[in-house]
Structure formats: structure tokens, C-alpha cells
Amino acid sequence: MVDTHFKKGAKIEISSDEEGFRGAWFPGAVIKPPAKKGRKVHVEYETLFTDENGTSLLRETIDLVQIRPTPPRETSRIFKLSEEVDAFFNDGWWEGVVTELLEGSRYSVYFRGTGEQLEFEDSDLRLHREWVDGKWVPPLEIEGGGEAEKLSMTAETNPSKEMEKEAFSKGSLVEVSSDEDGFQGAWFAATVVRAIGKDKFLIEYRDLRTEDDTEFLKEQVDGLHIRPYPPDTLKVDKFKLYEEVDALYNDGWWVGVVSKVLSGSRYLVYFKGTNEEMEFEYSDLRLHQDWIDGKWVVASKALNIED
């Protein structure tokens, strides 16, 4: 059945595949919901216009994988160093990481996708959340330190500093992301060679080799571009329609959404970042997991569209 979050008039956020807008979520509303078992929805943006004068709001017909409900937001929040946030910039919300706490409720935020670092008022920031299986992760915090709800597939507690240190110790298996063109959005398996000062590591890729192909590529990365290797704790017999997955392609894992279930344990996967749809074997897919606030969160469905 059609998700009740996406009825006519519902407030939503929209992702775009157009160059210069990828990676952002823009506020909007549903103009025409999808037909039963359909994938297309007609939307209207709140901050994007068809004309330079700003008199006519942009409307588009897009795929359901490009929309989500509007995330909840605390009335006030003091952000922490290295906390993942969304920053409102260029008419949309862009995911970044707090890299510096400034005076006057201002923060410096680093954007992995572009390699830029910009300053923001706290009013233009919100805690980064993922829409997972019909719930927001992490959940909205209730005043007094409680939580509105807990997702059963997240860890019970945050890891201690010792656990984090151990996760990136010499010889640890990790995944590394890159800001270089052609590699953005992917995670590559690597091994920690050694720590270099504070929050920097020398790593050796497991599958990427040097240009002369004589050895595996070594590189220095910072704490913003490294994470523990995802646990292989959830095995599924088959993937479901609209399930969020990572696909192994070009030696890295790229996040996508199952857009069609084919015969013979094969799947079509849609990648929002490039607007591509590709076919994969079951063995080249895994459930997508996010490293959020020191915990692994397993996204069992990107959208709650069909039973």
C-alpha cells in the first residue's frame, strides 16, 4: 500500500539528481501521490523556483526513492565536535561534520562531498538523521535527556574511547571514503598501518593498487574519512524492493536502493548520487549500514511503500 507519509499535501524533503544539487535534501510537498504500486510522485519545492524572480515554485515528477518525510528537529541544541549535522545552505540541507566550535553559537562544518569547510549559526544546523524502516535514526530527543523511541537494531550504548581507539589500532580492518572525483560516495576496505598523530591514520587499501600495480595503495586519512568495518551480523536470504543496500562495484561499496527484484537472485539497484540503475548478483550486495554517533544502524528499508 502507499505510505501514509506521502499523501497529497504532505510535507517532505526531496533529493535531486541534477549536477550541483546532489547530496542535498530540499523542503517540499506532495502534489500528487503515487498510484497504487507506482513509483512516481509529483512534488513541489518550497525553496527552488522556475524563474529568477522567485514567483513560480518548481514542480517535478520524481521517483519515490528521492523523497522522505521532513525530519524532526530539537527546539535547541548545542552541537559537539565531530557530530554529524545537516546544514541549511543554498536552499537545501547538506550533510556535514562539525569540525570546530566557534564563539557566539557558531560552528565550522566540513562537507565530505565537496571538501569545503563553512561556518554556520546554530539556527542553520540540525542533527543528521536517516529515515530507516519508517523511523528516524537517531530518534528525536525528549527534553530531559530521554528519547522518543529506540531502534532495536542499534547498539545499546556508544563505544568508549578505548573501544574507538581499538577499532583503529594497527592491523584493524576498516573502511575509508575519499573526496576525489569518481570515488565520492563509496567506502573502500583497508587496513590500519599505524596512527599518525591525533586523528590521522596511515592505511593500506585491500583492493586498490598503485599506478605501477606493484603494491597495494597506502594513504593518509583523517578521522572524518574512516570508520570500522561494518559487522556482518545480518544475513538475508533475499533483498526486498526499496531496501537500502551497498553494492560492490569498482572495488568499493556504493549505497543504493533496490529498484527491481529480478529472477535468479539478481537485482536492479538505483544510485541517487549518479542517477544510474545497474544490475547486481545477490553476492555483490549487502544491507546498508550507517555509522551514526558511534553505533551501527542497519537500514532495512529505504522507504515503507509496500507490505
DSSP string, 91-142: TEEEEEEEEEE-SSSEEEEEETTTTEEEEEEGGGEEE--EEETTEEESPPEE
What average pLDDT does the structure give for the chain?
82
Q: 155 pLDDT exceeds 50?
A: no
Give the mean pLDDT of 241-254.
90
pLDDT given for residue 148 in this prediction? 40
Asked if residue 138 has a cis previous peptide bond (ω within 30° of 0), the answer is yes
| From 61-70, 121-130, 182-191, 287-296, the region with the lowest mean pLDDT | 287-296
Q: 222 pLDDT exceeds 50?
A: yes
Count of beta carbons in the 10 Å neighbourhood of residue 20: 8
Q: 42 pLDDT exceeds 60?
A: yes
pLDDT given for residue 194 in this prediction? 92
Q: 14 pLDDT exceeds 70?
A: yes
pLDDT given for residue 79 in this prediction? 92
**Full DSSP string of 1-40:** ---GGGSTT-EEEEE--STTTTTEEEEEEEEEPPPTT--E
pLDDT (tens digit per residue) in 178-217: 877 777 779 999 999 999 877 889 999 999 989 898 999 9
Give the mean pLDDT of 96-125.
89
Which residues, in sequence order, are bridge partners of residue 117?
Answer: 110
Q: Cβ distance 159 to 166 under 8 Å?
A: no
Which residues, in sequence order, are bridge partners of residue 116?
Answer: 111
Q: Cβ distance 47 to 56 under 8 Å?
A: no
Give the mean pLDDT of 44-63.
90
